[in-house]
Structure 1
């Protein structure tokens, strides 16, 4: 059988960016090819050059960038030498792009249908308005948007995040391109929406022969969608391999470290092969292998010998002179022991939520009263408790109410009903009404340290601020506490004199954690603190949180949509859907049958390199139920729904023998029998890179 046609080939691609001290090389003789009909994944840490490669394929160059050498062959022409007019004819027509953030990519002042028509007219793909309308309706149906004709007239803000990304994919497909470049298209989406987008792309590849370059830092995701993967480090392509072989026999130490950093949902207590040590520092790279300063397999000559891609197996290339040393099975490296999980809950618990309900618009503003608008109930009747030193995770898709619960605990939102108790004492609804000690004891770590750290203040000043608010310390004592806090998060004293923009993403998140810890809290509210980080940085921050919990006996309310991370750190888990707790229990009970149908759908959506991709029964997609409607809020989306009782009667809380509770009409034995996700299944070896032949409907 002949090899598929090469659609695009990058040869010795070199790009530099201008900086104050001169030109900084960011791509070093990068070589790869994309075959017709395949998905080529590009993976690596932030700053490795993935997005720069993607933009070169589209002919986009930053004003401070220049191409130093190489060429990109596409359709018998070099994309790097084409004039602007020729590039404009190719972009959006033969090569199209799907961005990371559809909210900023879509024009907020244009209806989404008009935005697709604009592309069709630009490339002269439609003759008149009727033909344009028919084509856009066809495209919206192709990408699985419900009621395509009705959505044409909507604005981006009237669509969900997943629907916005589907519109961007429809725009990319409008002119039947040969290649679609996708730059982190699912970053920031919850696990169920991410799964829908991935299954859509797999379906499109099978139906229309779509070729894709898929850029991401999520290796687990690539294991589900890619045919081949290129691994980049510091602007170098260090390994290219078929996806199954890459995961089961990585030949480069960096690839091995990335894979070892992935938290495994089926092996929560197994230590990683070792989170990658150190950080990528471009100004300290050796003349030879760029990974040598962080490599556990390096020898002296690695620092001076230039590494080139060599074929080590059919379709498998690696740039490492020591690749044979990696042929032995991966062995867990010695490292810090995992912190023990909390096992005893003190009486009373440190934090308790008692029938907590939170509503937006419940304060009855003048406009709401004038319009007669009913409040929107975001969280309904939530009961849970967190013990000293214990971690409780809240999981659920976007809009489920996770962050709303955290904001109510912190005093940023006033509860509509119920109460928040700290050591049995009721807390005032808003933070300004609480005592200084109560404010100090509950500290918030935000998702995005770029937005939460003052860019004009040095790190030492940022960390000193909580000390000024809660403690009466002199300058010397303040400085000592600041340095102690930096040491707690494994940052040296020199960081106190730096600014936030001089730190990497992982370092900034460590500073955010240090700022919360310096107040000596008893409870940390961790709101998606890992979601924007690379897998290697994520593993290091996760280890840090475990250690700090053990050393300081700090309790955590840990909010995440990453179930593998949750299983590795949480003692208890609560599953939220539309503000309603659907399942609550100790972590080991949540990840074993019986499951609530919604919990099961979340587990089935988790991408896992060791688990074969399986088609799932389609959950019905319906509009959100009214906030105070009777019945189960998951009714209408539930694939296991037994009948109309789910829409008319409030489900009972069914308690399992292990102490967990499930909010469902179905009996526990039936819930257990219906489960298709089990820990034993999750460890099954992957049969290969081929996706399931029949992706489920996305309508």
Structure 2
């Protein structure tokens, strides 16, 4: 291995299912640097990153050379919930690692030393209130908190290289700044970071070197500053142009008929209140954005509306009729009326069945279509979202995270919902695809008069699509109002802080 590199890839080609997922990729990773891989969903970023851990798709044919420090490459996945044991508390997950590192100590000192290591690592990973967090199960954490727990695991292991797959996906602007500072600190400590990201603000702030991938090939590489100032490949220029494009402004609120009403309610995890939500009314043609930091209660609110979190004391009404709190108690029409698109799309698909069949199944079960008609509608809807029939006839593990997010949206649309809840569905997409999906949501709202949108997002640019905004902080609604009013004239200091950090997502890179 090159003595200046802690890991390297040379001529990597990975073939699966008769096609090359990556082809001829070359990568040099130096200690104390951040190397970013950018590109559209399905371009090969994750496959390249996982190669450093020696992991490849099942049945893949691999050629080329990959060299990395054995056992010392940490991985922070895009969907961290998939790698956290759901039946073990966070403390137990971290204890398994920490106890192996204190065996040299006298037995009476080991527990206290391991606990000290764990709490220190949680602080490094931007997870305050470690004692309370250690008692929780993974499902009781937000996506951002899960991500930071996985980072803590990598830090506990003493990783010399950290592969971070979309580490700011689903993060609010304030938390994003902390994540960037955390990876900048890893760089200062001499740890190499391989950053797989669609977030070009974060790439620009952190990366020393950038590789631009398209269809499995590196189309451009070089120092980050040079790529931004003088991109040489048309695809690089297209990514940067889409990133700089203005987002659509929030439309005026609809004045249609009430579809979904809620009373004020408190939601709990066990005995702990995690959300105090205001009364909400969603009307035909309306759209509501729920914004706030990771862990603020955004997803809990969405899950209450969808019947996925029944531990709350509120009332729900659909078209003036009581809507059961539990999904299991809702009828077929009620299930179709309120559809949820999850942030972790991969976990929402059966890994053994083709994506197309799963999308079409929604129209069969909830609308009574025959299989042929459902498949035809599914193919057309998926195509509208940029997913060709050949691609969606594959199982989920053959699609990228961004492709699965779009497939999950198509599946929800086949139910012909009245209320469509979108939980961070643009957070794992490249700038070009993200822009297209935002345009799709805007068009849906205009074309389907009976549809209400609920956008759960950390991203105020995405929130600008909505007619109204609710801002959550620490489980409390701190501000609510028309989108234009809240974005232009925030009344609460927390909202103002979110707006301020959106303009500069990472004010301090820590670069010397």
Q: State the secondary structure of the residue aligned to 2:162.
A: strand
Residue equivalent to 1:39: 34
Partner of 1:274: none
Instruction: Return the offset for 1:584.
Output: 0.9
Where 2:177 maps in the other structure, the secondary structure is helix
Q: Shift in Å at residue 394 of structure 1? A: 0.9
On the 8 A contact 2:171/2:458 being kept in 1, the answer is: yes
- Contact residue 356 and residue 379 of structure 2 kept, 8 A: no
Query: Aligned residue for 1:48?
Result: 43
1:229 to 176, 185, 210: 210
In the other structure, the counterpart of 1:614 is 507
Deviations 1:306-359 (A, max 9, x none): xxxxxxxxxxxxxxxxxxxxxxxxxxxxxxxxxx8344423x533332323334
Which residue pairs with 2:466 in the alignment?
Answer: 570
Q: CA deviation at 1:570?
A: 1.7
- Find the aligned partners of 1:139 and 1:437 in 2 and give their Cα distance: 48
Does the 8 Å CA contact 1:15/1:66 hold for their aligned counterparts? no
1:260 aligned residue (229, 241, 262): 241
Equivalent pair of 1:345/1:388 in contact (CA under 8 Å): yes
Aligned length: 496
Is 2:179 aligned against 1:216? no
Distance in structure 2 (CA, Å) of the matches to 1:479 and 1:162:
36
CA distance in 2, matches of 1:549, 1:150: 42
Q: Show the counterpart of 1:269.
A: 248
Counterpart residue number, 1:26: 22
Higher helix share: 2
C-alpha distance 573-68 of structure 1, shift in aligned 2 (>3 A): same
Deviation at 1:28, TM superposition (A): 0.7
Structure 1 vs Structure 2 CA RMSD: 4.6
Distance in 2 of aligned mates of 1:588 and 1:468: 39
- Mapped to 2, the partners of 1:112 and 1:487 lie a distance apart of 43
CA contact (8 A) 2:13 2:25 kept: no
Distance in structure 2 (CA, Å) of the matches to 1:62 and 1:515: 25
> How big is the shift at 1:245?
3.5
> Which residue pairs with 1:345 in the alignment?
255
Distance 1:385 1:63, change over 3 A: closer
Cα drift, residue 59 of structure 1:
6.4
* Structure-2 change in CA distance of 1:12 and 1:342 (3 Å): same
Asked if residue 541 in structure 1 is aligned to residue 442 in structure 2, the reply is no
For the Cα contact (< 8 Å) 2:341–2:409, is it kept in 1?
Answer: yes
Q: 2:4 maps to which residue?
A: 7
Once the two structures are TM-superposed, the CA of residue 392 in structure 1 deviates from its matched residue by 0.6
**Structure 1 residues 383 and 120, CA, compared in 2 at 3 Å: closer, same or farther?**
same
User: Which of 459, 462, 483 is the equivalent residue of 2:356?
Assistant: 459
- 1:572 deviation in Å? 1.4
CA shift digits 1:217-259 (9 cap, x unpaired): 3322212222232222334322223323423432222222223
**CA distance in structure 1 between the partners assigned to 2:192 and 2:395 by the alignment:** 42
How do 1:86-485 residues align onto structure 2 when only pairs under 5 Å count?
Answer: 88=70, 91-92=71-72, 96-100=73-77, 112=94, 115-116=97-98, 118=100, 137=116, 141=120, 144-145=123-124, 157=137, 160-161=145-146, 164-172=149-157, 174=158, 179-184=160-165, 186=167, 188=169, 190-191=171-172, 192-206=174-188, 208-262=189-243, 267-269=246-248, 341-346=251-256, 348-360=257-269, 375-414=271-310, 416-430=312-326, 437-454=333-350, 455-456=352-353, 459=356, 462-463=359-360, 465-467=362-364, 469-470=366-367, 485=381
The answer to whether the Cα contact below 8 Å between 2:419 and 2:453 also exists between their aligned partners in 1 is yes
Tell me how far apart the structure 2 counterparts of residues 460 and 392 of structure 1 sit (CA, whole Å): 31
> Partners of 2:235 and 2:371 in 1: how far apart?
43
Which of structures 1 and 2 has the larger relative contact order (alpha carbons within 8 angstroms, sep 6+)? 2
In 2, Cα distance between equivalents of 1:525 and 1:386: 12
Structure 1 residues 590-599 or 55-64, which shifts more? 55-64
Q: Distance in 1 between matches of 2:93 and 2:404?
A: 38
Q: Is the 8 A contact 1:45 1:233 kept in 2?
A: yes
Preserved contact between residue 228 and residue 242 of structure 1 (Cα < 8 Å): yes
Secondary structure (helix, strand or coil) at the match of 2:261 reads strand
Compared CA separation, residues 140 and 449, structure 1 to 2 (3 A): closer
TM-score, normalising length: structure 2: 0.77
Task: Report how far residue 262 of structure 1 moved.
Answer: 3.4
Q: Could you tell me how far apart the structure 2 residues matched to 1:501 and 1:143 are?
A: 31
Report the 3-state secondary structure (helix = DSSP H, G, I; strand = E; otherwise coil) of the residue aligned with 1:421.
strand
Q: Which one has the largest radius of gyration?
A: 1
TM-score by length of 1: 0.59
Match of 1:551 among 447, 456, 459: 447
Deviation at 1:54, TM superposition (A): 4.1
Which consecutive unaligned segments of at least 5 residues does structure 1 have? Answer: 73-78, 81-86, 271-339, 362-374, 616-690, 695-699
Q: Residue 435 of structure 2: SS of its match in structure 1?
A: helix
> 1:97 is paired with a residue of what secondary structure?
strand
Distance verdict in 2 for CA 1:209–1:15, change over 3 Å: closer
Alpha-carbon distance in structure 2 between the residues aligned to 1:138 and 1:532: 32
For residues 16 and 588 of structure 1, do their structure 2 counterparts lie closer, same or farther at Cα, with a shift above 3 Å needed?
same
Preserved contact between residue 21 and residue 215 of structure 2 (Cα < 8 Å): no
Contact map agreement 1:485 1:514 (CA 8 A) in 2: yes
| Superposed CA offset, 1:169-214 (max 9, x none) | 5325x4xx7x5232327255533444323212323434x4544333
Q: How big is each residue's C-alpha offset from its partner over 1:469-508, in whole Å with a ceiling of 9 and x where there is no partner?
A: 445x677766765566556556667789766566555554
